[in-house]
Amino acid sequence: MRLTTQNSIFAFMAKQKKEIGKVTLSGPELDAQLPHDAEILRIASQYAEFEKQVDQQVNEWLSKVELRHLSGSEKSAYLKKLGHRPLTNEDLATLVLLYGSDAQKQFISAFEDAKTKLTARLAKTANLGLVLKQAGVNYNTYYNRVGKPDLWKPNEMIEIMTVLKRLKL
């Protein structure tokens, strides 16, 4: 009698392991994912160039913007407006949404979407540790980005997508 109870407990635990297991991509699923990977890489690369191009316009926008639109405390926002503190990605997105053209606004929303897609893509990736190590992203950074995808930086996204492409994962 006791033997059957133990067997049923182990069978229950085995079911839990199967349900908890990570879903990985292979074969046709991987081939279907590749266009999305190329899109994420393209958008991240374009966003890195976009940041450089918008740099000149940002100075004009900072002279017009109210402090309440910049992130951080009032003192921090004031220092950002004067150029003594760097702008965050959130600040740049806010400035573009306030003063940018329609094309720039669409580009910001496409980049936000790419960040979310990257997070979902990494959740399905086998050998995640290898990918992160080769991309130069440590685990703490990765877990912060998974919790809040808005924190992804374009250079991190480019590195990760390049590694995924090279390793064909």
Structure token digits, residue 108: 């910001």
User: What local confidence, expressed as pLDDT, does residue 56 receive?
Assistant: 80
In terms of pLDDT, which residue wins out, 20 or 63? 63
Quick one: pLDDT band at residue 55, thresholds 50, 70, 90?
confident
Quick one: pLDDT band at residue 117, thresholds 50, 70, 90?
very high
In terms of pLDDT, which residue wins out, 19 or 8? 8
- Length of the chain measured in residues: 169
Quick one: pLDDT band at residue 33, thresholds 50, 70, 90?
low
- Structure confidence by residue, pLDDT tens digits, 88-107: 888 999 999 999 999 999 99
